[in-house]
Structure 1
Amino acid sequence: MTAAGTGAGPWAERGAERGAETAQIRSLAHSLATADDLEPLVRLAAPARFVCLGEASHGTQEYYHWRALLSRRLIEEYGFTWIGVEGDWPDCWRINRWVRGEAGQEMDARQLLAGFERWPTWMWANHEVAGFLTWLREWNLRLPEHQRTGFYGLDVYSLWDSLREIFAWLEANASEALPAALHAWHCFIPFREDPQRYALSNRLVPQSCEADVVALLAEVRRRTLGRMQDDPAAFDAIQNAIVATNAERYYRTMVRGDQQSWNIRDQHMSDTIERIARHHGPGSRGLVWAHNTHVGDARATDMAHDGMLNIGQLVRQRHPGEVVLAGFASFAGSVTAAESWGSPEWVMEVPAAVHGSHEDLLNEALGEPAVMVFGADRTGPWLTSWRGHRAIGVVYNPHRERGNYVPTRMGERYDALFWHPRTEALRPLHHEYQPGEPELETEPTGF
């Protein structure tokens, strides 16, 4: 596979075909100025069981804004009852209890989000999320408890926080089982809550805490058996035990530097989606918020050639005909990101998209924000073309722009796409207070 951005790859300029592609883009585009303009996408998403909404960066106002507006409409008009986000389970469980009116009601959304301390805090502690959560809590409090919309974290990173939550639950509900939790905790003590230290130790000395966290998971499963559906605290406990188990596996695997750790993470997030859906009942419908690289079907990118899968692919495979995937893209602007893992965030310039990319073509075809709904027929020159699609992570170097593109067939990767010619940086509620403890995240090619 030729690398994106070389200027001569499979998505390089193709002369007369460019005009046909821009014509197809214009035929699919609907103007996007107000929430009412979301109607074509709302009609597509309304019957779905899972609606996965991406973002081309973790630091762009417009992506968060329009994702929230679409989510509001689907919750208000069609009864979607849960949201799963690319965030840690313990932090998001506190948000879940707040938006459902169960705890922390003396706080407002900004105070609640101040509790996010794991780098990068700006992903969730920002003005757009605070506004959405304020609305969601107000919406929920007007409804009976069983109809309220939940907010959950899908990610795998919270090893030590999840262990602490398991301790608290066992102490309150099954104190005789605390020795199993203490055994797992003591295994991790030498690593000082540093995932890098744990991962590297397993490379140097092949001795892990795997058996301890697996035993803890089995104990928590036994203690919560038959209780999860009616007892939210038991559901929280078992999920924390699963996070701890998969996080240990993730950190132990990722030090090898292959794609398997990426797959462990996305399989965990996809399995968590399944558990949340079951917890809310067979008729429940949910929204997933994550980066395009997780939401857009990996089989329509060069990730598949490297043996990588993701949420979009797995949810489609598990629930054919019940899933809508929507991505985001922009041509230029600014973004909130960091120069390296764990460093403070900055507002950075996003340069004009490279020639021959999907973003370059979209900018030529559309001068204003738009939403494109692809429909059943995914043929045609643009939907089937193989071009680079920009992906900006929490770490970004605009001077290495050509490395930020994932070769993509749009018609297979998504069911719809939000387009903005120019975007603005996300506004954090607070800055990173000190150098964080960055997670050693795995990334797809070109990201």
Structure 2
Amino acid sequence: MLKKYFLLNLILISSIGFSQNTKGEVQFQTPFTDHANNTKAIKKISDHLQDYVIIGLGEGTHGTKEFNEIRSEISKQLINKNNFRIVAFESSYGDAAFLNEAVNSDVDLKAALKKYMTSIWQTKEIHTFLEWIRGYNKNHKDKVIISGFDTDALMRSAEILKKTDNFGKDYSEMTAEIQKKAVLQDEMWEKQNDQSFRLDMKAVIKNGTEGYLLTKKADSLYGKKMDLNSKLALQHLELGFKIPYEASKKNYDVSRDFIMAEMIKNIQSGYNKKMILFAHDGHVALKPILVDGMGGYLKEKYGNQYYALATSTVSGTYSATADPRAVKNNKYSSYPLPEQLKNSWEEKLGSKKSENYFVDFRSSNEEIYGKAFKMRLLGYNPVTPATEKFTITEPLKLNECFDGIIFIKHTNAAEHLSTD
């Protein structure tokens, strides 16, 4: 009897799958350069997204060509037809502000992308997307704004403050001091890619605390007089120094995802425009998945006006860097995706007859999306036996963590720009 019970349960577990109901699902083809076959599909996907204020377009790996391509195509549709005007990346605000200037000029856009953006975005796919935005902006008064919400680099936000020179000597001296703090914090981050470097955490905390207090003072004295770009740069610096400042008070509850969500709120409310985010699945998620999940903080602020879209794959290759810190000059290589996990979301999503598809969980009635399975998320580092456990989530319900998902069965490594 006991053996029959276990056998019955095994049959039930193995039979969990998809019904024939495809409500809320859109199928598409790869490659995405085949516009004739995918134009209708991209429009259908964007139709599900058009009414939101902020859309988080996630990526299951930081190094997948197709994830970059389909998010770019969706973004073009949202910009063209649905009045989205901010495209923000998981990269520094100050750097992205300088890239925004480059997009709206005639400078070499590849060189600007390599100079100003974190290396994960220095790909042919993102360059193609930015070229499209450049063309769009030349023909429209209501231009697309390129922005960033991470705090991995602060120096160029300090440069933005220094460009404002109409507040007098005290302001100039204060911003010069803020710049020194920003440069030192950036150096401490970047030097961690040198195996011989030993991080002085006391120095990080001291420097960050002093920087935070300076930015708070600058805000109180000059914040209301600043133009929007300078104000956002100052807020970015304040948030960038906030974690070491809180650490000085033995408060370790302020996370990177919380900081990024705060910066996104500042950008969106400052411009009062609809916004698209390019970031990792773990960051756009509505609940903590391996990381804290900035999407959960955005959900608290925007409610149903925020939409979290994940992307996932199961076979092919991905690009990654062996450096422990993502900076602007990482070198990337292509790696085969790890083997499919048994009884995982990748296994379930890959079992559908259609190989490439989008599902909107808000309109789908497929019960399986409310089941809990483990999932694999890859960052910018290659998976090794020592690090593999950090890429596998606890069992999670997809429809609680995201509002929708794009699944592409076979994908390829992102095509990074040359380092010449």
Would you call these one fold, judging by a TM-score over 0.5? yes
Letter in 1 for 2:360: V
Instruction: Tell me, in whole angstroms, the C-alpha distance in 2 between the residues paired with 1:279 and 1:240.
Output: 12
Is the Cα–Cα contact under 8 Å of residues 158 and 243 in structure 1 kept in the other structure?
no
Decide whether aligned partners of structure 1 residues 427 and 417 sit closer, same or farther in structure 2, where only a CA change above 3 A counts: same
**Aligned match of 1:74 in 54, 66, 78?**
78
Alignment partners' CA distance in 1, 2:62 and 2:249: 26
Cα 1:206–1:291 shift into 2, 3 Å = closer
Match of 1:383 among 369, 375, 382: 369
Q: Deviations over 1:318-358 (max 9, x none)?
A: 11221221100000111110124156321111133211110
For residue 167 of structure 1, report the CA deviation from its aligned partner.
2.6
Matched length: 393
Of the three residues 263, 269, 288, the one matched with 2:277 is 288
Q: 1:365 aligns with which of 352, 363, 368?
A: 352
Of the three residues 298, 304, 313, the one matched with 2:287 is 298
For 1:334 and 1:222, the matched residues in 2 are separated by 51
Which residue of 1 is the match for residue 63 of structure 2?
59
Indicate conservation of the 8 Å contact 2:23/2:363, yes or no: no
Aligned to 1:241: 234
Q: TM-score, normalised by structure 1?
A: 0.78
Partner of 2:175: 181
| Alignment match of 1:277 (pick from 252, 255, 268) | 268
**In 2, distance between residues paired with 1:135 and 1:375?**
31
Which region of structure 1 is more displaced relative to structure 2, 241-250 or 42-51? 241-250
1:352 pairs with 2:339: yes
1:160 corresponds to which residue?
A: 155
- Does structure 1 retain, via aligned residues, the 8 Å contact 2:284–2:309? yes
Letter in 2 for 1:395: N
Tell me the CA shift for residue 177 of structure 1. 1.2
Counterpart-to-counterpart distance in 2, 1:82 and 1:373? 23
1:338 counterpart = 2:321: yes
AA aligned to 1:390 is: R
Task: Please state how far the C-alpha of 1:24 moved relative to its aligned partner.
Answer: 7.0
Shift of 1:244: 2.3
Match of 1:429 in 2: 417
- Structure 1: which 5+ runs fail to align? 1-12, 228-233, 434-447
Match for residue 444 of structure 1? Answer: none
Contact 1:354 1:402 in 2 (8 A): no
Cα distance in 2 between the residues matched to 1:317 and 1:91: 28
Question: What secondary structure, in the 3-state scheme, does the structure 1 residue paired with 2:221 have?
Answer: helix
Deviation digits for residues 357-410 of structure 1 (CA, Å, limit 9, x no counterpart): 100111122452111122346672x21111112111111225454542223210
- The answer (yes or no) to whether the contact 1:210–1:245 under 8 Å persists in 2 is no
- Paired residue secondary structure (2:418): coil
- Distance verdict in 2 for CA 1:207–1:48, change over 3 Å: closer
What is the CA distance between 1:285 and its match in structure 2? 1.2
Aligned residue number for residue 106 of structure 1:
106
Contact 2:235 2:263 in 1 (8 A): no
Distance 1:336 1:39, change over 3 A: same
CA RMSD in angstroms comes to 3.2
* 2:5 matched residue in structure 1: none
Q: Secondary structure at the match of 2:415?
A: coil
- Is 1:316 matched up with 2:337? no
Q: C-alpha separation between the residues in 2 aligned to 1:16 and 1:175?
A: 74
Task: Name the amino acid aligned to 2:285.
Answer: G
2:131 corresponds, among 134, 150, 171, to 134
Q: Gaps spanning 5+ residues in structure 2: where?
A: 1-8, 30-37
**1:393 to 1:212, Cα distance in 2 relative to 1, 3 A:** closer
Q: State the partner residue of 1:40.
A: 44
With over 3 angstroms needed to count, the CA separation of the structure-2 counterparts of 1:205 and 1:339, relative to structure 1, is closer
SS in 1 for 2:406: strand
Q: Deviations over 1:274-304 (max 9, x none)?
A: 22222223xx2111111000011125x4x5x
Q: Is the CA contact 1:61–1:426 (under 8 Å) kept in the aligned structure 2?
A: yes
| Distance in 2 separating the partners of 1:182 and 1:251 | 20
The structure showing larger relative contact order (alpha-carbon pairs under 8 Å, at least 6 residues apart) is: 1
User: CA-to-partner distance for each residue in 1:118-138, whole Å, 9 max, x for gaps?
Assistant: 7x52x1221111111111111
Tell me, what secondary structure is at the counterpart of 1:429?
A: coil
Query: 1:18/1:136 Cα in 2 relative to 1: closer, same or farther (>3 Å)?
Result: farther
Distance in 2 between residues matched to 1:14 and 1:242, nearest whole Å: 54
Pick the aligned partner of 1:21 from 8, 17, 24.
Answer: 17
Q: Which amino acid aligns with 2:286?
A: D
CA distance in 2, matches of 1:205, 1:83: 31
User: Percent of aligned pairs with the same residue?
Assistant: 15
Alpha carbons of 1:142 and 1:334: their partners in 2 closer, same or farther (altered >3 Å)? same
CA distance in 1, matches of 2:251, 2:348: 33
- What secondary structure sits across from 1:419 in the alignment? strand
More divergent stretch after superposition (411-420 vs 245-254): 245-254
> Structure 2 length as normaliser, TM-score?
0.83
- Contact map agreement 1:200 1:255 (CA 8 A) in 2: no
Asked if the contact 1:199/1:251 (under 8 Å) is kept, the reply is: no
Give the Å deviation of 1:25: 8.4
